[in-house]
Amino acid sequence: MTFKDLKLIEPLLEAIAKQGYTAPTPIQEQAIPHILQGRDLIGIAQTGTGKTAAFVLPLLQLMSQSPRRIIPKSPRTLVVAPTRELAAQINESFATYGSFMRFRHTVMFGGVSQGAQVRSISKGVDVLVATPGRLLDLMNQGYVNLNHLEFLVLDEVDRMLDMGFIVDVKRIISKLPTHRQSIFLSATMPQKISELAKTLLRHPVRVEVDPQATTVKLVQQKVLFVDERNKITILLKLLKHEDLKCVLIFARTKRRANNVAKLLTNQGIRAEAIHGNKSQSQRTRALDNFKSGHARVLVATDIAARGIDVDDISHVINYDLPVDQIDNYVHRIGRTARAGARGTAYSLCASYERNALREIESLIKMNINVMSHSFHSNTARDAVGAAARPPPKQQRGQRRSNMNRQDKRHYRSK
């Protein structure tokens, strides 16, 4: 199937061709026709499956086919996203795919002055992309009016639930007109999200891709069993390989992300850190440096990584496994298998993380290949500082979680 088969108009096809895309992804193939028909939609898909274009393209077409004059403060389309980075990325996608069309769009998020955002919405836009907190704040101040809204998109709803935004989202929804087309996107569908969808959507069509199976198939996965104190040594050895050109590293905490990035930079590997304690300008600069190749490595926490949309990430490294939210593993490694590409993911697994590894293998229904390694332990201890120390809870867990003989046989047999 081609994009032309989806009955997209010529300006969109021209913009798609300019980006070098030739065929729609499964989520695009399934979702675009329903949205063009005016149907409410539930899409089960994660970042990296092409879901942004799956709603941006048809919404641009629907707006172009029924033009409306610009109304100050009142957008036609509202897209709500959980993080600043994802909101900015979606706004960029509207600009990219709408490059041969005439329409106005803007983005709103916290961490920066609201002045420019207020001026933009006051002039009127067709498309508003926003994070829940900043949007609700500007609505309460009277700068945003949703009475004339025609299209609503809630993106990564499961992440909004995790981040505590659902109450804000419900308040926003309460201000919307009854007659609208709604698109609801989530990587997972827990009970609370399913209940929200029932109150929001009218006779929705459900489309679903299996990102977990796709990710597991496309990403070469390897695990290295390590001592916690030697993680940074092994990380440095991995990064000596030239084929690790554009690397996204996941750390469990903001402090560890900072420490790992600092240590890598001190070792001559240009690295940036991105997490919730960084200002918006710092986060934007770090992401821009990573996208441009000025920084070879980006160290991120799970929440900050939402919205990192970089097509050519060659490798993902789990410096820490996601012990609290196991399904984040699939989201993480999927950053290096974008739009059908292949990639490699390494996981550094300390003793206190082995239970998490077993849960991950159960989730993805496969055993992850064990990669052997060698290192000199005395090179790690003094150099790494806090980057090599687990958080206090994990440190206590490490003492409790010595593997029994059966566990050792299990992993040795892989």
Task: Clarify whether residues 184 and 223 are in a common domain.
Answer: no
The Cβ-side half-sphere exposure at 309, using a 13 Å CA radius, reads 21
Task: Clarify whether residues 196 and 314 are in a common domain.
Answer: no
**Confidence band for 400, pLDDT divided at 50, 70 and 90:** very low
Sign of the C-alpha dihedral, residues 169, 162, 367, 310? Answer: positive
Cα–Cα distance, 317 to 252 (Å, whole number): 12
Predicted local confidence at residue 397, as pLDDT: 41
DSSP three-state, residue 172 = helix
Predicted local confidence at residue 379, as pLDDT: 39
Q: Evaluate if residue 242 carries a pLDDT over 70.
A: yes
Q: Evaluate if residue 313 carries a pLDDT over 60.
A: yes
Task: Clarify whether residues 138 and 15 are in a common domain.
Answer: yes
Give me the residue label for tokens 């088969």. 5
**Confidence band for 405, pLDDT divided at 50, 70 and 90:** very low
Q: Greater confidence, 323 or 413?
A: 323
Q: Domain end: 176, 191, 209, which one?
A: 209
Task: Clarify whether residues 238 and 152 are in a common domain.
Answer: no
Predicted local confidence at residue 410, as pLDDT: 39
Task: Clarify whether residues 84 and 233 are in a common domain.
Answer: no
Q: Greater confidence, 399 or 375?
A: 375
Task: Clarify whether residues 39 and 155 are in a common domain.
Answer: yes
Which tokens is 146 given? Answer: 């949703």
Cα–Cα distance, 62 to 58 (Å, whole number): 6
pLDDT tens readout for residues 33-56: 999 999 999 998 876 678 999 999
Q: Which residues contact 142 (CB under 8 A, 6 or more apart)?
A: none
Whether 242 and 315 have beta carbons less than 8 Å apart is answered as no
Predicted local confidence at residue 163, as pLDDT: 80
**Confidence band for 164, pLDDT divided at 50, 70 and 90:** confident
52-66, 111-125, 186-200, 388-402: lowest mean pLDDT where? 388-402
Question: Looking at residue 387, what DSSP letter applies?
Answer: G
* Average pLDDT over every residue of 283-295: 89
Give the helix ranges, DSSP H, for 244-385. 254-266, 280-292, 302-305, 328-333, 354-364, 381-384
First vs last Cα of the chain: how many Å apart? 40
Task: Clarify whether residues 74 and 121 are in a common domain.
Answer: yes
Q: Domain end: 161, 193, 209, which one?
A: 209
Amino acid at 209: V
Please tell me the pTM assigned to this model. 0.68
**Confidence band for 332, pLDDT divided at 50, 70 and 90:** confident
Task: Clarify whether residues 181 and 302 are in a common domain.
Answer: no
pLDDT tens readout for residues 78-105: 999 998 888 998 999 999 999 999 999 9
Task: Clarify whether residues 344 and 227 are in a common domain.
Answer: yes
53-62, 179-188, 192-201, 377-386: lowest mean pLDDT where? 377-386
Task: Clarify whether residues 313 and 334 are in a common domain.
Answer: yes
Q: How far is CA 315 from CA 44, 69, 217, 310, in A?
A: 25, 46, 15, 12
Give me the number of domains the chain comprises.
Answer: 2
Q: Evaluate if residue 8 carries a pLDDT over 70.
A: yes
* Average pLDDT over every residue of 223-238: 94
5-9, 48-52, 223-227, 269-273: lowest mean pLDDT where? 48-52
Q: Which residues contact 341 (CB under 8 A, 6 or more apart)?
A: 218, 311
Q: Evaluate if residue 62 carries a pLDDT over 50.
A: yes
Question: Looking at residue 177, what DSSP letter applies?
Answer: -
Give the helix ranges, DSSP H, for 230-317. 231-238, 254-266, 280-292, 302-305
Domain extent, residue 154, equals 4-209
Task: Clarify whether residues 198 and 216 are in a common domain.
Answer: no
Predicted local confidence at residue 378, as pLDDT: 41
14-28, 112-126, 390-404: lowest mean pLDDT where? 390-404
Q: Domain end: 157, 182, 209, which one?
A: 209
Give me the residue label for tokens 């804000």. 168
CATH code for position 92: 3.40.50.300
Amino acid at 132: P
Q: Greater confidence, 20 or 304?
A: 20
Task: Clarify whether residues 219 and 196 are in a common domain.
Answer: no
* Average pLDDT over every residue of 139-167: 92
Instruction: Quote the Cα angle for 234-297-395, to 5°.
Output: 45
**Confidence band for 255, pLDDT divided at 50, 70 and 90:** very high
Cα–Cα distance, 271 to 349 (Å, whole number): 22
- The 10 Å Cβ neighbour count of residue 6 is 19
Predicted local confidence at residue 304, as pLDDT: 67
Predicted local confidence at residue 376, as pLDDT: 46
